[in-house]
Amino acid sequence: MKRTIIKPIIVFILFLFSACKTYYIPVESFKAFPKGHVGRHLDFITCYDKKGNPKLIKNDGSVEIRITDNNNKRQGGYFETLIINDTIITFCRSFILSLDATFKLDNICLIEIQNVKKGLKYNREKQLFK
C-alpha cells in the first residue's frame, strides 16, 4: 500500500522540479535596466542558464522573477509587474491578493527567472491580464 502511494508522489515532485527551467540575470546587468515599468516594456528577457549560456525568454504573463537578498530573504512574483527606480525594485507577488514585494537594489544577490507557463497573457495596450 505504501509503495503505491509513494511512487506517484515521487513522480509528481520530480515533474515539479523539472517542469520549469531556471535562468539567471546577473545583478549588475539588472541594475542597468531602464528605470520605470520595466517588465511591461520588454518583449524578451536576456538571461543565462547555470552554465552561463545566454537565453532569450519571451516576456509574457507567465514569466516569474525570484529575488534573493543578502539576508537570504527570497520572494517571487510576476516579471510583467517589475518596476525599478533608483534604489528599489517592486513587483507583484499575487494578482488575487495584490501582494507586492520590494527589495533594495544594493541588497540583491541573486535574480532567477522562470517561465512557469500558467497561460496568462498580457495585453500591453490595455495593461490587463487575461
- The pLDDT tens digits along the chain (130 residues) read 455 666 566 545 544 444 568 999 999 988 888 888 788 888 899 999 999 999 999 888 789 999 999 999 999 999 988 999 889 999 998 767 778 999 999 999 999 999 887 555 555 454 444 4
pLDDT number for residue 34: 82
pLDDT number for residue 39: 85
Q: Answer whether 110's CB lies under 8 Å from 68's CB.
A: yes
Q: Answer whether 45's CB lies under 8 Å from 54's CB.
A: no
User: For the chain, what is the domain count?
Assistant: 1
Please report whether residue 130 resides in a domain. Answer: no
**Which residues constitute the domain of residue 46?**
21-124
Q: Answer whether 82's CB lies under 8 Å from 39's CB.
A: yes
Please report whether residue 3 resides in a domain. Answer: no
pTM over 0.75: no
Please report whether residue 16 resides in a domain. Answer: no
- Nearest to 42, CA basis, from 33, 50, 32, 51: 33
Helices (H), 2-54: 2-19, 27-31, 38-41
Q: Is 82 helix (H, G, I), strand (E, B) or coil?
A: coil
Please report whether residue 12 resides in a domain. Answer: no
